[in-house]
Amino acid sequence: RGGGGGGKGRGEGVPIRIGALKPFKGLTLLKSNEQLYVPETQEQTPLTEDMLWEQQSVLSKLGTSEEAAQVRAKMQSMSLLSDMQAFKAANPGCVLEDFIRWYSPRDWIDSNDDDDDDEKSSDGLEPKENDPKGRLSIRMRQAGNMWVETWDNASPIPAYKQKRLFDDTKEAEKVLHWLSALKPAELVLMVLPCLVHSAVLHLKKELEEMALPSAWGYINDAINITKTIQWISLDSLPIYQECFGLLEKTEHDIATAASLHAKLKQGLDINTDSVKRTAAEDKELMASIQILVEEPELVLQDPVTSVTGLAFQGLLKTQIAFQSLDEVSSSRHSRQHQTKFTGAALPKATAREFILRTVSPQPSLLSSPAPQRMFCFLTKDETRVAGAFTQDVLIV
């Protein structure tokens, strides 16, 4: 079935083994009974997420006709052809059956295995005469099999002489071209997963020191929502918007808890003489903060001597003191204002500002109208002029 492989020795007619990696233990060539060697093959072509999606899209658009199936098979057989060429170079005198035994053992039926006999009637294919070593499966014996055609077209070429399956230079040029033509909206879509991941990690780190079950619930819901996204596209934006809403609620609860903790701690310091507080007092204070974040009100069992009660008392004392200062400052400012401006005009201006705005076509009368702005600042010792001008650079 299209055997052959390798070159010939000078004047000897002996095939040369090229590109062999190591012998495959337990297998010999069916025709020559020589040791079967594993060839050096090319690495599989790496595919990024967008490349895989594009490939699947192309294959799905081919349809289900026989011609489309052949085109699809050829597109997917490049790696198979490369491996067959390398196998022929490493195993001169080999046949397709040798390749199948190494590459796809499930398609090789051992002579002691009779499972294949039950399938021959349904496909209408009669197996070859029983070989003492075995035979190909029915799938490989079907007419027009892609593997048979690929094997017949494969020449004995080692991997290092083959055309590269993955041309890194070409792919790098494609990446650079793609980056140069990337739109800001597409860039935002690409970095959204990284931004969400970073935001979740940052919020979880801040929540480690706070007992806020509601915030942890928001975080877990956001993580579960993002797990449903299979591909970054405009269709996934509503999911991200829902995720951002949950992260916003989490951040709000954290900020509220941090603000309450700072204020209550300040009130407690004002109303108590002890410099150091016990762990039980801190725990009680954090429990009260949790209730204030998640509930509309807090009921104190002992508002006089409890830690939270003392903190609120300190805050009230601070508020009363500030109100007294505001009243004194307000009355003093009112007297100064009446003394200075009663019956007199406004004081002389120390500077003048002029802002000119218009919409006009630039650089020619045929250009599209665009906004123009000029700013001028004048003082006794200084003059500043700044402008912001827009030009229509689109050439039709």
- Domain residue ranges in the chain: 7-170, 182-319, 351-388
Question: What integer pLDDT is reported at residue 373 of this predicted model?
Answer: 94
Name residue 8's beta-bridge partners: 15
Which amino acid, residue 149?
E
Helices (H), 236-278: 237-271
Rounded Cα gap, residues 116 and 78, in angstroms: 29
DSSP state of 275: S
Single-letter code of the amino acid located at 247: L
Report pLDDT for 341.
45
Supply the pLDDT for residue 365.
Answer: 85
pLDDT of residue 299: 77
15 forms bridges with which residues in the sheet? Answer: 8
Distance of CA 48 to the CA centre of its chain: 11
Rounded Cα gap, residues 276 and 269, in angstroms: 10
In this prediction the pTM is 0.48
* Number of residues assigned to the chain: 396
Q: Which residues are CB-neighbours of 17 under 8 A, at least 6 positions away? A: 6, 37, 89, 90, 91, 92
Residues 37 and 17: beta-carbon distance below 8 Å: yes
* CA separation for the pair 207, 266 (Å, rounded): 22
pLDDT, tens digit, 9 for 90 and up, residues 350-366: 899 999 999 999 888 88
Amino acid sitting at position 339: T
* Other Cβ atoms within 10 Å of 157 Cβ, number: 19
- The rounded average pLDDT for each run of 10 residues, N- to C-terminus, in the chain (396 residues) is 45 72 88 90 81 76 71 75 92 91 87 53 44 76 82 90 87 89 86 89 86 87 83 79 91 88 78 65 78 79 75 75 64 55 60 93 88 92 92 73
Q: What is the pLDDT of residue 9?
A: 46
Query: What secondary structure, in 3-state letters, does 30-91 show?
Result: CCCCCEEEEECCCCCCCCCHHHHHHHHHHHHHCCCCHHHHHHHHHHHCHHHHHHHHHHHHHC
